[in-house]
Copies of this chain bind each other. A is one copy, B any other.
């Protein structure tokens, strides 16, 4: 199971970095940010105090520096090449304009991949206003490129908390603007609108929510009867789940460890805590490069799967003295405790692939008897009095966000899913969805998959009429019952 912080959305600076879905947050890695955003941060003046216009004369946006647009445009163009699904959707549905008259409030990470989504929504007919869902994750150049292209974007890297809410507010509350649909990542736009603009909220057609945190908040709203519009939980759609977790982590765990530590994998003993999709991906990837993998689990079904997949299922304590690498992927807290770390051997690498930053009890390492030595960005040696060194990655935050970069291909899946969810909610007949939280209809999920098959030169077989009848299926799908597990 993999989750994020379920606690409230209070935006204290110290815990400001709240990871949501992996894909949307992928570009939020420190490395990418520190590269592209460094210069602009020297700016002293707040963007809110600047007067900027794009070349079209509009000033309905707020970004760090509109002049950076050319570089941002190039980033967007590169991303377009690596996002076959969302681009195919743009092409296929461009004439239909299925989002004509849609007025979208977007609140997500803002990076090149998001820009491809935004421009696709626009190509499908939508008007949009967009803010960032994270004060740190905006790529300023991309925001500039979007503003230059005429989009009302309100986001920059290193916003203050006040800036953060101001930006979202600017998206909701504008002249001649009654938004009718929300694309949210974390639930902040939804909740601001619900609280501050309840009348406006009642008029929207629905919410598309991307993150575990946001979905959790929606279910809570629903339980307490406050959810007055339909919401689509795209976080749990099949393609997104498998790609963001299983397939993506299979590669990003390798990448993260290699980039940060140059460790040789062959023959290393690794324990993966948790055998959900993320844990399955980590275990499979690491075994593929020669590691010996142990698994811990609380759920007997997942434990049985791990056994049948050829991993020893143990308690962490049983192997903690022997393993070379410890990876958490449980979604829980304090999975790796100080007591565990006291027993690790020198050189053991500890990192987190699961919950934002709770799985490893990093605070327990901030004691006077231990010395921290920063080896390089995202890599700390924590040194015991006897000289033992634990290698802690990303201070216990999500290592794949901090130490590797996700491919645009994964984001393409997520973006296409979001776009289809918007289309579905916007065009659904009045009674199809009530004021509840829904999973994406299977047919949409299948369509997202279809959009990405050409990347693999994969050729679908089509049912004959006879076969379709025999199976009781429509030739165009959906092909499986809802409880099918894939």
User: Which A residues are closer than 8 A to B by beta carbons?
Assistant: 1, 3, 78, 81, 236, 238-239, 241-243, 247-248, 250-251, 254-255, 258-259, 262-269, 285, 287-292, 296-316, 318, 322, 331-335, 347, 358, 375, 389, 404-410, 439, 445-447, 449-450, 452-453, 455-464, 466-467, 470-471, 477, 479-480, 483, 485-486
Contact = CB atoms under 8 A, between A and B. Distances in A.
Given A267-B456, A308-B247, A313-B458, A258 B298 contact: no
Nearest to A84: B347
B300 A470 contact: no
A404 to B, nearest CB: 7
The 8 closest A-B pairs by CB, nearest first: A288-B288, A313-B458, A300-B449, A267-B307, A266-B308, A307-B456, A299-B479, A264-B407
B262 A406 contact: yes
Nearest to A274: B461
Contacts of A267: 307-310, 455-456, 458
Contacts of A243: 308
B307 A458 contact: yes
Contacts of A410: 264
Contacts of A457: 269, 312, 322
Contacts of A312: 269, 292, 457-458
A258 B296 CA distance: 29
A239 B301 contact: yes
Tallying the copies of this chain within the complex gives 4
Nearest to A455: B267
Contact of A251 (B1, B266, B309, B332): B266
Given A258-B404, A264-B409, A266-B308, 16 more contacts: A78-B375, A238-B301, A243-B308, A247-B264, A251-B258, A251-B290, A255-B259, A288-B289, A301-B479, A302-B479, A303-B453, A304-B456, A313-B453, A313-B456, A313-B460, A485-B486
A480 B3 CA distance: 12
7 contacts: A247-B266, A292-B312, A304-B453, A307-B453, A314-B458, A332-B467, A332-B471
Contacts of A405: 262
Nearest to A259: B259
Nearest to A313: B458
B463 A301 contact: no
A380 to B, nearest CB: 14
Contact of A311 (B259, B262, B292, B318): B292
Contacts of A485: 238, 241, 485-486
A358 B288 CA distance: 30
A415 B275 CA distance: 26
A239 B485 CA distance: 12
A420 B238 CA distance: 30
Contacts of A322: 457
Contacts of A314: 458-459
Given A334-B466, A467-B333, A486-B485, A461 B297 contact: yes
B292 A460 contact: no
A288 B265 CA distance: 13
Contacts of A291: 310
A267 B333 CA distance: 29
Given A304-B453, A316-B461, A453-B303, A250 B466 contact: no
B459 A247 contact: no
A208 to B, nearest CB: 18
A309 B290 contact: yes
Given A314-B459, A460-B313, A483-B236, A450 B300 contact: yes
A81 B464 CA distance: 36
B266 A310 contact: yes
Contacts of A456: 267-268, 304, 307, 313
Nearest to A439: B483
A134 to B, nearest CB: 21
A266 to B, nearest CB: 4
Nearest to A242: B305
A389 B210 CA distance: 33
A246 to B, nearest CB: 8
A76 B306 CA distance: 30
A108 B419 CA distance: 49
Contacts of A309: 266-267, 290
A486 B450 contact: no
Nearest to A482: B483
A257 to B, nearest CB: 10
Nearest to A452: B304
